[in-house]
Chains A and B, each alone.
Chain A
Amino acid sequence: MKYLSNTASLELFPESCTGCGMCLEVCPHEVLALSNKKAVIQDRDRCMECGACVNNCPFGALTVDKGVGCAAALIKSMISGGEPSCDCSGGDKKNSCC
């Protein structure tokens, strides 16, 4: 299953990439692939902007606008003006004190 086409904010800077392959390992949707010892974005529409690749690229060759793809969280943040966060499971008032 894929989500909306051409909306994911993932970006790759080939000049910084060393082809270490770490990003391929952590991506849950096979968005990235190696070609000629460089990472390439092979299927952008599968990217869910989780940030795993960015977080684990030792060379800063990737960026993404990481966030929760959750309508409830985004609507809440629109109304309250806060950062969107997925607080429906556990992080609610009762638990957020710690």
Chain B
Amino acid sequence: MPELKLKVELDWKKEAVSCCECGGPALHPALEWVIGTVMTPVGPVPRISSTLSKTDYWEHFKCRTTAYRDDYRVVPGLYAAGNPDNNSDVLVSANYKYSFDMLRRELKDLNAWILVLDTKGINVWCAAGKGTFGTAELAKRISVAQLNKVVDHRRVIVPQLGAPGVSAFRVKRSAGFDVLYGPVHAKDIPAYIKAGYEATREMRRVKFPLSDRLVLTPMEINPAMKKFPLYAGFILVVFGLAPSGILFRDAFAGGLPFLLLGLVSVLAGALLTPALLPFVPFRSFAIKGWITGLLAISLSTRFILFPGQYNTLLLIFTYLFFPMASSYIALQFTGSTTFTGMSGVKKELRIAIPAYLLFSVVSFILLTMFKLTQWGIL
């Protein structure tokens, strides 16, 4: 076993080096999920554990919240779960380790082969959309792994969400293997196989429940918060700017409410809108985000905008700018949903982008007018 472990690790190094000078995929420390080998007519195949460790779960958490997911990969190729033989099923997966882990943890009572495609560390559905989880890559991996010598049958089980990239009839033509489309979720695989490779209607549908929407929100909040310092700097300058220079006391006293409102609009667009998605009226994400933003801002102004700053120009600015920011951020969530199509998003953008530009210009003019009245020029 140690030799094989070494071999897999060497493969990792090779992959890392062959990937130009860009650092390459991070080496998985010690590869603790490889627990032995299975002999086949074409040589030993690494056997993987179907239990996830604490390390695995910690890494998954990091994938949900940070850029860790950009480099979270498995070496493509053939793996064994349990004690597979020449009649065992072949399950196809992506080399995003999270996808691979979701599959292997469902294989506790199965003896199966796992064929990992090189999807550049991207999950099945996204990679299928790009084509890296695709017909050509599948045919190539079948031949590289010499699958026709490892198993006697001629079928591979591909996750249904790989179908945008994989063309079953073309794989049959080029590689000689039948593609059976398995269920959407790995957890249904045992039931699917037991039923004689039949998936129920339920297993074939992609839903988008609250829990799925919520785990995606950190990756909506992060990019929005990256732009926040820029916004904060701008607001502080606007409020601190006086004919005599920048007054820090004014900057904070005047700017703070608007910094808080900025945070509220980020939360409205990146957290509330995704969470309440089915309950916010209208199908357009820009409108959904605008409505949520408007509600959140009108609630917040009761607490955040003190009477002393009750300035008409600032009030109009508040209701123009912040719901728009929420709308823009909510529109970004289209990239994470399971049901938005390109034609629809394009249609939204055609209307939303000019509106955002117009609103931004007017917001800027309002702030300028506010400053001028403050200085007594207007």
Contacts and interface: CB of A to CB of B under 8 A. Distances in A.
Interface of A: 1-5, 7-9, 22, 25-30, 46-53, 55-56, 58, 65-75, 78, 84-86, 88-92, 94-95, 97-98
Contacts of A89: 69-70, 122-123, 126
A69 B168 contact: no
A25 B217 CA distance: 30
Contacts of A48: 338-341
B20 interface: yes
B323 interface: no
Contact of A94 (B23, B278, B284, B340): B23
Contact of A28 (B18, B161, B344): B161
Chain A interface, DSSP helix/strand/loop, else mixed: loop
8 contacts: A58-B169, A70-B334, A75-B349, A78-B349, A84-B342, A86-B335, A98-B20, A98-B22
A66 B23 CA distance: 33
Contact of A52 (B22, B126, B163, B332): B163
Contacts, number: 165
B344 A8 contact: yes
Given A26-B163, A29-B206, A95 B120 contact: yes
Q: Which of B96, B205, B344 has the most CB of A within 10 A?
A: B344
A43 to B, nearest CB: 11
Interface bin, chain B: 35 or more
Given A28-B205, A94-B23, A71 B343 contact: no
Given A88-B335, A92-B70, A69 B167 contact: no
A4 B283 contact: yes
A4 B284 contact: yes
B62 to A, nearest CB: 14
